[in-house]
Amino acid sequence: MKKYNTRNISIFIFIFSALLLISSCKSKKTITTSGTLESKSQTQIVEDALSSEFKYNTLTTKGSIEIKMGSSPKKSTAVYSIIKDQIMQVSIRPLLGMEAFRITFTPDSVIILDRLQKQYLSESIKNSKLMANFDFNFYNLQALLTNKLFVPGRQEVQKGDYSKFNVSATQDVYMLQTKDKGNLLYNFAVDASDRIVSTLIYNDKKNVTLQWTYSDFINDNNRIYPTNMEAKIDISKKRLDVGISYNKLDIDKTLNINSTVPDKYTKVDFSELISRYIRSK
């Protein structure tokens, strides 16, 4: 059992850190999102947050990501692409723009392509033992990456879902809390401009915490979105910090995402995939 849990934790950290990638157009001026909270009903708070969301059909961006696990930060160039509700992909390019890894998510599967070793991993999300314990799905990950409110296990937040949120307020933000079947709690902090400024996902008993913070919002042709994101992930006392920055964001451009695997690549499991990159100390 311990071996299975450790393996799944490693998979979660590896994939999640690679996907924390949407952000930053520093050439544009940031806007102020703070202010005084209004007195609102639960329904109005949820509806205002939904109406303030960044709308898109396709999205692609190139920039950098810095990952820190322990005392050694790692920085790399990455290209991130989304066709809404269909596919998400990150291409990691550490040297001279050449792709080293590619991670592709669809609603049903995840594929990790390792070009350095000519190998790949392909797993069904539907049949994943790890995801069977939680409602968090492809659409929730897509929402998290694009600064949206979501209900665990759902594709979109519908009016009938509003009652799933317990709403409270601090001096600066509205707090919207819900949970999934695995008793993971989801806390969304919404500021006076109706933007989500942080999402906290946690379960103390299972030693799982994800703190996801959005900042430096910009107005890009009437699309408002964050240009900086920070993520702090704690899973079974393993800590991962991620900082993200981007210099270009292309929205609703014609986008084709290649998810094919070369015929000569060898299919491996996760432990085989990372064995060449993680050495015992």
Residue 35 lies in a domain: yes
Identify the top-confidence range among 15-19, 118-122, 202-206. Answer: 118-122
**Under DSSP, is residue 4 helix (H, G, I), strand (E, B) or coil?**
helix
Res 62: pLDDT: 87
User: Can you give the CATH number for the domain in which 85 is found?
Assistant: 2.50.20.10
Res 15: pLDDT: 64
Residue 12 lies in a domain: yes
Residue 198 is encoded by which pair of tokens? 């942080």
Residue 280 lies in a domain: no
Res 24: pLDDT: 39
Mean pLDDT of 169-176: 94
Cα–Cα distance for residue pair 208/202, rounded to 1 Å:
5
> Using one digit for the tens of pLDDT, what is the confidence trace for 125-163?
877 766 667 789 999 999 999 999 999 999 999 999 999
Q: How many domains does the chain have?
A: 1
Cα–Cα distance for residue pair 104/34, rounded to 1 Å:
36
Query: Quick check: 231 pLDDT over 70?
Result: yes
The CA radius of gyration of the chain, in Å to the nearest whole number, is: 19
pTM to 2 decimals?
0.85
Q: 260 with 113: CB under 8 angstroms?
A: no
Res 5: pLDDT: 56
Contacts of 54 (CB under 8 A, 6+ apart): 146, 147, 148, 223, 224, 225
Res 20: pLDDT: 57
Res 113: pLDDT: 96
Query: Quick check: 21 pLDDT over 60?
Result: no
Query: Quick check: 169 pLDDT over 80?
Result: yes
Residue 136 lies in a domain: yes
Residue 279 lies in a domain: no
Tell whether the torsion through CA atoms of 271, 277, 278 and 281 is positive or negative.
positive
Residue 107 lies in a domain: yes
Question: To 10 degrees, the CA torsion angle through 211, 26, 89, 48?
Answer: 60
Residue 86 lies in a domain: yes
Res 22: pLDDT: 41
Length of the chain: 281
Which helix (H) or strand (E) is 140 found in, with range? helix 138-145
Instruction: Note down the domain range covering 87.
Output: 2-274
